[in-house]
Amino acid sequence: QNQSFAEINSDSQSKLYRQVLDAKGPALFQMMESFLGEVTFLSVLDEIDQNHKYEDVDFSSFERASVGYTTAR
């Protein structure tokens, strides 16, 4: 298909949306772990778990949790 992920309607195209997430999700997490390092990546996941337990987490929340660990102090 010639459609960007941003254009996929998660409600009307739920099967396609899920297939894309399942295909790209692991690669995204591998890249984030590679960039942040294993210890920091696991700390970010722990922080997200503590602050958003049982909630959907969008990328901006994940990014905010990560920036605190990558910004020069």
Q: Cα(54)–Cα(37) distance, rounded to whole angstroms?
A: 25
Q: Cα(40)–Cα(21) distance, rounded to whole angstroms?
A: 23
What is the reported pLDDT for 69? 58
- One-letter identity of residue 26: P
What is the reported pLDDT for 17? 81
Q: Cα(65)–Cα(51) distance, rounded to whole angstroms?
A: 10
What is the reported pLDDT for 34? 94
pLDDT in tens, the chain (73 residues): 577 777 888 888 888 888 888 888 888 889 989 988 999 999 989 988 998 888 888 877 778 888 765 554 4
CA distances from 72 to 3, 41, 51, 68 (A): 38, 17, 23, 9
